[in-house]
Amino acid sequence: MKSPIEYATNLATHYGHRLERSVVYTQGVALSGRLRLHDLLPESSNPSADIARIVAEFANDPSDIFSSSDGTANYAGVCWADELAAATDDGKYTDLLEQVADMFGPSVTAGPLDPDIRVEDFFFAATMLGRAYLTTGDSKHIDLLAEFLLSADTLQDNGLWWHCKASPFFWGRGNAFAAIGFAEALTYLPEDHPTREELLHTHLLHLEGLVKRQDDSGMWHQVIDMPETYLEFSATAMIGYSIARGLREGWLDEEWRGAADKAWSGISQRTSEQGELEHVCVGTGPLATLDEYVKRSYTDGLDDRGGAMALWFAVEMARLEAGV
């Protein structure tokens, strides 16, 4: 079997080469993945000039990036900004990051974060507000993120998150958004932040609920607690990334390594040389019935959503193996 770094190198040739006018997290994560890969393999071709070209129209005129109908999924499409700033030593990307992070405010209740507690927002907020705190040192960003995650009250006794209050179902990618959102938040949250212990406790409860339902293949299902539903690619990549990140950062101990390795095995077996993937659930807003989640369609082949998260996961596994 090829190594994670080999898979990451291949995925980076297929994903992370565009950012469309409707900026969205799927393409943004892939751009970030290309930068992370080069950081891990500095002898490889540096993608920063190409990425700077791809994002130029957005970075040069930040006021014109988003339309009035855009929301947090679009704002998270700028998650590459801090890494591109570091790669190019150009402060305009840091300025862009802070501007977009401010769009998540001014508060949990007076901003774009869904009061119905859509788990997607865990990731969208964490990946942007965490980066903004890291680059600016302004505690308003990390405090808003912590307040939002603490306000989430839809984690159930089985250790799984509802998609949202209006859709009390354990959707696979929904739970993956929750896992990766908390993993991103804990990456940036200071060790002495007063909320860290509680947020870590919540995250561990969730990961324990997830690992109990990991399929023998290493994958997670379209509906987490329904093993008769299909094995879903994007959820597995995101949950696997979350566990690998926790191992690398030290808030998960070595007993979690088996779950990360199993998830990686499942993802690698479902990723082709051409970047084609198996069973990536299509874009899914809150649905009215459990049956709608069960029957939700999927794509096979090239898929921005699955490819971006697989690239992040591959790089994270490579970092874990390298001990960096």
CB atoms within 10 A of CB 227: 12
CB atoms within 10 A of CB 94: 18
Residues in contact with 285: Cβ distance below 8 Å, sequence separation at least 6, in sequence order: none
Judge: domain 4-322, CATH 3.40.50.1100: no
Two structure tokens written together for 114: 């869904």
**How far apart are alpha carbons 97 and 150 in whole angstroms?**
24
**How far apart are alpha carbons 184 and 93 in whole angstroms?**
20
Query: What confidence score (pLDDT) does residue 61 get?
Result: 80
Query: What confidence score (pLDDT) does residue 194 get?
Result: 98
pLDDT in tens, 119-136: 999 999 999 999 999 999
Rg for the chain (alpha carbons), in Å?
18
Q: Find, among 146, 187, 204, the residue nearest to 312 by Cα.
A: 187
Query: What confidence score (pLDDT) does residue 1 get?
Result: 73
Q: Is residue 167 classed as helix, strand or coil in its secondary structure?
A: strand
Q: What are the φ and ψ backbone dihedral angles of 155, each rounded to 5 degrees? A: -75, 125
Q: For the chain, which ranges sit under pLDDT 50?
A: none
